[in-house]
Amino acid sequence: MGALVFLVVATATLLLCARAAGFFLFVDEPARGSDGHGARLLVVEGWLDEDALDAAAAAFRAGRYERVVTSGGPIDSWHEGQTATNFADRAAGYLKLHALADVAVAAAPAPASAQDRSFLSAVVVRDWIRREGLAPAAIDVYSAGVHARRSRMVYRLAFGPSVEVGMRAALPKNYDLEHWWRTSQGAKAVLDEALSLAWTTCCFWPPAPGSHEERWAQPPPSP
């Protein structure tokens, strides 16, 4: 009898955790900023589709942002009419053309990398901010769907505790966060991100800021 009760409770707990997984991975919590009025810089992940980029532009207009920087590495697939070779440039071009023509939009493309691509993109954005002479106390990162929590984590790892990293995210189009397991897109997205988040949490240790190991995909500087 005790074993049956344990099995029922364990199954119910597992189902509740599974049901909540989509909402846990999806994060939309903007930074407060040092003055309590939010970040002034919005980082937009360049791999987002057009609908999510439109949502990012709307978030920019609704906030107190002053600048946008797009992130992302090389584009692996090619489409007819495509001119950008990386996601950062593609997203920046789209935002300038469709929604943010009057806004300072810059691209911070990352080099090719076989692993830790999100972290490398965050490092490149951090270094771009420094080269621009900016010293924000807070930034917001715009992502999409269940990728959001992991994006926030890697940006926090790259920027360190001196910069508050907020998160904005577009809702997924192809599945419902509450019933993500009912579609193949939802199941794949949630399970992939849950595993990636678990690996990042337990197994990824960011190298020292500014070290070659942090940007291992690029060749070391010449002596």
Residue 159, pLDDT score? 95
Count of residues making up the chain: 223
Give the 3-state DSSP-derived string for the chain, with helices as H, strands as E and coil as C.
Answer: CHHHHHHHHHHHHHHHHHHHHHHHHCCCECCCCCCCCCCCEEEEECCCCHHHHHHHHHHHHHCCCCEEEEEECECCCCCCCCCCCEHHHHHHHHHHHHCCCCCEEEEEECCCCCCCHHHHHHHHHHHHHHHCCCCCCEEEEEEEHHHHHHHHHHHHHHHCCCCEEEEEEECCCCCCHHHHHHCHHHHHHHHHHHHHHHHHHHHCCCCCCCCCHHHCCCCCCCC
Q: What pTM did the predictor assign?
A: 0.85
Collect the ranges in the chain with pLDDT lower than 70: 1-19, 77-82, 114-115, 212-223
Q: Give every strand in the sheet of 164-170, ordered side by side.
A: 104-109, 67-72, 41-45, 138-144, 164-170
What pLDDT is recorded for position 14?
41
Q: What is the pLDDT of residue 65?
A: 95
pLDDT at 216: 57
CA-based end-to-end distance of the chain: 72
pLDDT at 215: 65
Phi, psi angles (nearest 5°) of residue 189: -65, -50
State pLDDT tens for residues 58-91: 999 999 999 999 999 998 766 655 677 899 999 9
Q: Give the sign of the dihedral formed by CA 41, CA 46, CA 52, CA 57.
A: positive
For 159-177, what is each residue's pLDDT tens digit? 999 999 999 999 998 888 8
